[in-house]
Structure 1
Amino acid sequence: MKRLGLLFLLLGAGIAHAAAQSSGNTSAERPVLRVLLIGNSLIYTNNLPGLLRSMARAQDAGPLFETETYVMPGAELARHWKSGAAAKALEQGHWDFVILQERGGLLACAASPAQKEQDDCRNSLRAHRRFAELAGRHGARVLLLGTWGPDAAWQDNLDRGLRQVARETGATPVMAGTRLRAREAESGGKPKSLFTDDSLHPSLPASLIVAAVLYREMAGKPAHAANLRLDFPLLPPGTRMGDNLPLEHNEALNALARPVTLGADELPPLLEAAQTDH
């Protein structure tokens, strides 16, 4: 994993690195799934949508992904709903999947009858319902991307809250945070292996695990190890975002891309972590 950490540092600093072509099959005959992502820095750090597209391209078969991503630092889903840009995109485009990612550990509140009555929690639940209802009217399947807490007790509340929101909205919970914490425990509890120095944002290995978890859910099968061409910027946590501009259309940020190829030999333990049920 040292190479992955070095790769993240180099790209975050904007240092160019020579690229090789990956062996992914990009045949036009493969189906294309359109994915709308709505969330905050836990999505844009390391460019999770780009990792999803790259992972799909690298497979010998299965769907390709086309993404559009609305993210703001520290944003709650209620803020996205109020902004209106993500809802407008959902209403006007044809989407196969909508991925909702709430701020940090906020959804732990849904596991507590008392906390559910607090304003932040009520606003979050209302935003989840509104996005889910809108997605349902337009034939899109909603995935709730689970985040991670600072310890096992918090993670348990967060996971229970996520499942509760999934039951209330008819969405599918994606327990990515649980997978990351399990992987961390297996590696001896070394947070720097999966998280940045703030112990909150994902490192590149962590983002790859999350991408593999989402890939499995949307493609209906696990990803296999293959060279990944990363032709998009691996964004650091503090990157500034526009409220109404999709990440994929942000020319200033995308100009920072320094294409590299991540070798298939780096991926097996990360893909295994994504496939293990906990």
Structure 2
Amino acid sequence: MIRLLCFLVLISCSRLEQLLPPEAAGSDSTISVLLVGNSLTYTNNLPELIKKEALLFGVEIRTEMLALPNYAIPDHLSDGKLQRLIKKGDFDFVVAQQGPSSQADGRQMLLDTAPVLDELCKKHGARLAYFMVWPSRQYYQTFDGVITNYTAAAKSVNAILCPVGVQWKEVTDTGDFSYYGLDGFHPSQKGSELAAKIIWESIHPNN
């Protein structure tokens, strides 16, 4: 009789858990994202914009940002804080960017650090993604190099590519420069909103 009662209780609990929403059933469905970069990430608080984009699809995400002026990915790796953050194992995605990187030195930085960053992410349960940026209006002619080099870095380690620069260029090629801020390099609010939309669609393609 006791065994039968225990069995019935287990069945009842199982059915109740199926009826409850994920958070009530005890599972943590929140997606966590670390954004690593420089002023192109912290201008207009890109992490908060990504949160808002996710909420449009009913998804709650947690974000953290490690972004400093004029920093490239090697600078973050040299400091060591990036490694400490990832090693905590708190992130599902690490979204990285540096400057436009259209020239040979920028390309080499992306390619040299890609395997290091990717291995670090995989070891601690995260997926690496690259936030493809854009050149300043002054060096707009280098845009194809930005696209090529970020794409190459992502492909080299099978990372996620967030092709913000591709859509940015499609619009600016028409003569609409509204994605640029007043300084002709940092994003306007509209530009950051575009970046947030594409990053979210890239890391969560089933929304």
CA distance in 2, matches of 1:91, 1:208: 29
1:124 shift after superposition: 4.0
Query: Which residue number in structure 2 is paired with residue 79 of structure 1?
Result: 75
Higher relative contact order (CA 8 A, sep 6+): 1
TM-score, normalised with respect to structure 2? 0.79
2:42 corresponds to 1:44: yes
Contact 1:77 1:128 survives alignment (8 Å): no
SS in 2 for 1:67: strand
Q: Find the partner of 2:190 among 198, 201, 205.
A: 205
Q: Distance in 1 between matches of 2:158 and 2:124?
A: 14
- Say which SS state the counterpart of residue 173 (structure 2) adopts: helix
Aligned to 2:128, the other structure's residue is in SS state strand
Matched, 1:101 2:89: no
Deviation at 1:94, TM superposition (A): 2.6
CA displacement 1:3-48 (0-9 Å, x = unmatched) = xxxxxxxxxxxxxxxxxxxxxxxx9568211101100000100000
The answer as to whether partners of 1:132 and 1:142 remain within 8 angstroms in 2 is yes
The 5-angstrom pairing of residues 189-268 of structure 1 reads: 189-191=175-177, 193-221=178-206
Q: In 1, are the aligned partners of 2:129 and 2:160 still within 8 Å (CA)?
A: yes
SS at 1:142's partner residue? strand
Does 2:146 align with 1:148? no
Supply the AA of the counterpart residue of 1:182. Answer: E
By percentage of residues, which structure has more helix?
A: 2
Unaligned runs of 5+ in 2: 1-21
Cα distance, 1:183 vs. partner? 2.0
Q: For 2:44, what is the secondary structure of its paired residue?
A: coil
Question: What TM-score, normalized to structure 1?
Answer: 0.60
- Measured against aligned partners, the alpha-carbon deviations of 1:105-163 in whole angstroms (never above 9, x if no partner) come to 22x24xxxxx3xx5x65444332321111001122111111011246641111111112
Letter in 2 for 1:163: T
Output the amino acid matched with 1:34: S
Unpaired stretches in structure 1, ≥5 consecutive residues? 1-26, 110-114, 223-278
The whole-number CA distance in structure 1 between the counterparts of 2:132 and 2:50 is: 16
Greater Rg by CA: 2
RMSD: 2.1
